[in-house]
Amino acid sequence: MSESLDLHLALAETELENPVLPYLRQDRIPHIWCPGCGIGTSVNCFCRALTDSGLDLDKVAIVSGIGCTGRTAGYLNLDSFHTTHGRAIPFATGLKLGNPDLNVVVYSGDGDLFAIGGNHFFHAARRNMDILVICVNNFTYGMTGGQVAPTTPVGPTQTTMPLGNFESPFNLPFIADACGATYVSRWTVYHVRQLAKAMKEALNKKGFRFIEVMSPCPTLYSRRNRLGDGVDQVKYYKENSVIKNGADTKDIGLGYQGEIVVGKFVDRERATWLESMNDHFSKVLGDQFKPYGGKPEGV
Amino acid sequence: MKADPKGVLTGVHFIDGDHAACEGALAAGCRFVAGYPITPSTEIVERFAARIPKVGGVFIQMEDELAASIAIQGGVWAGHKVMNVTSGPGLSLMMEHLGYACMTETPSVWVDVQRGGPSTGLPTLPAQADMMQIKWGSHGDYEIIALSPNSPQECFDLMIKAFNLSEEYRCPVFLMMDEVVGHMTERVEIPAADQIEVTERKWTKKKPKDYKAYETTPEDLVPEMIKAGDGYRVHVTGLTHDERGYPKMDVPTQAQLVTRLLDKIRKNADKLVDVRMDGCEGADVIVVSFGITSRVATAAIETARAQGLKVGHLRLIICWPFPVKLIQDLAKTVKAFVVPELNMGQMVLEVRKAVEGKVKVISVPHPGGTVHEPETILEQIVEAAR
């Protein structure tokens, strides 16, 4: 039994129980994440957001792809789906349309959502599929050992860019904005209060919602590039972040160890895919159409 | 239980196999399809898109086959019966999600309207060359069930059977059509809803605290199912998992899980035999066929019989699992098997494997693009009877 598990169990026995514990599958702890990794911090924020959201947790489902962040679904005590690499969004699309009563959250990494899964992100945002997508961006492929990602800034070394990355990275909020997301924000794992608040706000909003969470990968990104450990990265986030709510998303791309613009950039109303479908068919078909909204009939 | 009348278009219709397949799905209770167009399967999803607003349900056209084949699985875990529709190149893209459906035991019907391949091949022309791909195309060991219709009527009938089997075994069930069957227009009779038997999902009656997502017994290898939103807080993963559904990547868990996934089909292989036999008793030669090729084979067999040859016809309705024991029994009395198929020799390998060299097995291959000439099959029957 690991030390962290002992500590965890000891904490669980005290009366001052960690408020996020009920949200975790405690029989799955310890988790796989490295010391200094920010994914756990983001999950902590998400649990707090769930508490504050007032949602019926039996109706919240979480869907992940593959990768370090992709393991999130398995640790949360919700209906949880660990799907295939890059395909969390289309699975979530099926889940949401299959039962529109569900509040469906996709929780995955930058490689999963924007490299192999990029196409699905664009189309789900274009359709305004009613899901919340949380992307933990650690600028690298952690699970496979630190390969270049579509978010890796120009400069740092990765195992498949051994002489330093020369490819331009994506600006994730700009993509989400351009594709039609109703809510777009970016925070780092230093900004725990703001991040939890943003998650709560996004959980209670309709449409395709996107939150980028900057997170250290000390094992395969920071240390390899002599940027220190997790704490050093969080210090960098603290010292270099600028809150610019409403900033134009085209101006907030991330450079290598440069300024980080955080905040809420987009918050708008747009009919969701299902609202559009119901509205359109009601107009065209009149009484022949019964708006679709509940769970499958007869079940 | 009986079919929901809302999805049943009772009456006599003159429609093609693609349209009949769609009606079969609606009759079976399918109310959610995420599709992606590909010739020659497109008419199935086109009809579904047109019919579903009035029946009650959802159709969405996804951005690609990768998305379609996983979005339907999301629909299953929301509680729906679903159908995945494609053809060759699309099927190739869907292979990873075939494995996911097997691993997570997600009941689903997969329709492959086969066209000539490899690659883009012959988009508008027939083949039966995906028979091995569905069996072996996704990585790892798995089992599926596959049915092969030879007419629009069977596209309807076997579609319902495919849905029922997918619920019974919680595995992907394939309806292996081909371009000719898909685009052939014939009489299709759709019975009244109360004449159509549909299998309900194997919903658990357990309370959430007593429920384990992948718990089974030695007598029943198919776990009970739930749907998201009902308070069971289930975890579903493509990783090797224990009976709680939690990832557990060790040798015993892998052995237990993979063995059960295979055994739930393999141990029921006898129950799953579905063939049409004509004149096999006392035959010297038996033609083993499936799908559209069975209709050409029938013509060849009739001519051979007119010439005085004792020829039987064994048509596979269920191709996977392959009816090994049946072939072995027949091998005791016949001189030879003749296996015509619209590929360069796929199911013939299964016949050869079953007979273990005891009798002659003659392949009648065809690269696809059209059906066999009956004479080509006849020549091999005559050769086999010598």
Q: What is the pLDDT of residues A201-228, one digit of tens each?
A: 999 999 999 999 999 999 999 999 999 9
Query: Biggest alpha carbon distance in chain A?
Result: 66
Does residue B167 sit within a domain? yes
In-domain check, residue B224:
no
What distances in angstroms separate CA B225 from CA A232, B212, B279, one per listed residue?
47, 9, 43
In this structure, is residue B232 part of a structural domain?
Answer: no
Are the Cβ atoms of B70 and A28 closer than 8 angstroms? no
Residue A1 confidence (pLDDT): 45
Residues of chain B short of pLDDT 50, as ranges, are: none
Of B54, B70, B236, the CB nearest to A87: B70
Does one domain contain both B175 and B44? Answer: yes
Spatial distance between the Cα atoms of A216 and A231, rounded to a whole number of angstroms: 9
A97 touches chain B (CB under 8 A): yes
Q: What are phi and psi of B33, to 5 degrees?
A: -135, 130
Condensed to tens digits (0 to 9), the pLDDT of residues B127-170 reads 999 999 999 999 999 999 999 999 999 999 999 999 999 999 99
B67 falls within a domain: yes
Residue ending a domain, among B195, B212, B229, is: B195
Rg (CA), chain A: 19
In DSSP notation, B135-178 reads HHSSSS----EEE--SSHHHHHHHHHHHHHHHHHHTSEEEEEEE
Task: Give the C-alpha separation, A232 to A262, whole Å.
Answer: 19
Identify all chain A residues contacting B105, using CB atoms and an 8 Å cutoff: none
Instruction: Note whether ipTM > 0.90 here.
Output: yes
Question: Domain boundary at B195, B218, B244, which?
Answer: B195
CA A264 to each of CA A182, A256, A270: distance values in angstroms, whole numbers, following the listed order: 11, 22, 17
Comparing CB atoms, the residue among A74, A79, A289 nearest residue B228 is A79
- Write the DSSP assignment of A184-246 as a string of letters: EEEEETT-HHHHHHHHHHHHTS-S-EEEEEE---IIIIIGGGT---HHHHHHHHHHHEEE-TT
CB neighbours of A166 closer than 8 A, spacing ≥ 6? A154
* Amino acid identity at B368: G
Bond prior to B321 in cis (omega within 30° of 0): yes
- Which residues of A fall within a CB distance of 8 Å from B71? 90-91, 93-94, 97
Determine, for residues B74 and A296 on separate chains, whether the beta-carbon distance falls below 8 Å: no
> B187 with B321, same domain?
no
Sheet harboring B360-364: ordered strands across? B275-278, B311-316, B285-290, B336-340, B360-364
In a domain, B119, yes or no: yes
What's the per-residue H, E or C state across A3-23?
HHHHHHHHHHHCCCCCCCHHH
Nearest to B79 among A58, A99, A292 (CB): A99
Q: How confident is the model at residue A10 (pLDDT cuts 50, 70, 90)?
A: low
Among residues A182, A178, A195, the alpha carbon closest in space to that of A241 is found at: A195
Q: How confident is the model at residue A298 (pLDDT cuts 50, 70, 90)?
A: very low
Question: Looking at the structure, do residues B281 and B188 belong to the same domain, yes or no?
Answer: no
DSSP A115: I
Amino acid making up residue A155: G
**3-state DSSP percent of chain A in helix, strand and coil, to 5:** 45, 20, 40
Contacts of B79 in chain A (CB under 8 A): 98-99, 295-296, 299
Q: Work out whether the CA dihedral B379, B382, B384, B386 comes out positive or negative.
A: negative
CATH number of the domain that B134 lies in? 3.40.50.970
pLDDT per residue as tens digits for the range A80-114 = 999 999 999 999 999 999 999 999 999 999 999 99
Angle among Cα B104, B106, B108 to the nearest 5 degrees reads: 150
* Interval B167-221: pLDDT, tens: 999 999 999 999 999 999 999 999 999 999 999 999 999 999 999 999 999 999 9
Tell me: do B60 and B169 sit in the same domain.
Answer: yes
Whether B179 and B322 map to the same domain: the answer is no
Q: Are B190 and B294 members of one domain? A: no
Q: What residues of chain B lie within 8 A of the CB of A119, using their CB?
A: 63-64, 67
- How many whole angstroms separate alpha carbon B377 and alpha carbon A233? 72
Report the pLDDT value the prediction gives residue A129, as an integer from 0 to 100: 98
Alpha helix positions (H), B242-334: 251-266, 293-306, 324-331
Domain at B365, CATH number: 3.40.50.920
Strands B30-35, B58-61: pairing is: parallel
- The residue of B2, B106, B202, B235 whose CB has the most chain A CBs within 10 angstroms, and thus the best one to mutate to test that interface, is B235
Q: Is B222 among the domain residues?
A: no
Alpha helices in chain B (DSSP H): 17-28, 42-55, 65-77, 88-93, 95-104, 131-136, 152-169, 179-183, 251-266, 293-306, 324-331, 347-355, 374-385
pLDDT in tens, A126-143: 999 999 999 999 999 999
User: Rounded to a whole number, what is the distance in Å from the CA of A40 to chain B's nearest CA?
Assistant: 18
Q: Is A106 on the interface with B (CB under 8 A)?
A: no
End residue of a domain, out of B174, B195, B216 = B195
Q: Is A115 near chain B, with CB under 8 Å?
A: no
* pLDDT value for B266: 98
Other Cβ atoms within 10 Å of A27 Cβ, number:
8
- Per-residue DSSP letters for A35-57? TT-SHHHHHHHHHHHHHHHT--G
Shortest distance, CA B256 to any CA of chain A (angstroms) = 20
Could you tell me which chain B residue has the CA closest to the CA of A80? B235
DSSP symbol at A261:
E
The answer to whether the CB atoms of A90 and B74 lie below 8 A apart is yes
Flag whether B347 is in a domain. Answer: yes
- Work out how many domains chain B is built from and give that number: 2
- pLDDT, mean over chain A: 94
Tell me the residue range of the domain where B361 lies.
275-385
Superfamily the domain A23-270 falls into: Thiamin diphosphate (ThDP)-binding fold, Pyr/PP domains (3.40.50.970)
Tell me whether residue B41 is exposed, middle or buried, using C-beta atoms within 10 angstroms of its C-beta: 0 to 12, 13 to 18, 19 or more. buried
Length of chain B counted residue by residue:
386
What pLDDT sits at residue A293? 83
Residue in chain A nearest B50 by alpha carbon: A281
Contact assignment for B4 to A288 by CB distance below 8 Å: no
> Which of A78, A82, A116 to mutate against chain B (most B CBs within 10 Å)?
A82
Same domain (yes/no): B19, B141: yes
Radius of gyration of chain B (CA): 21
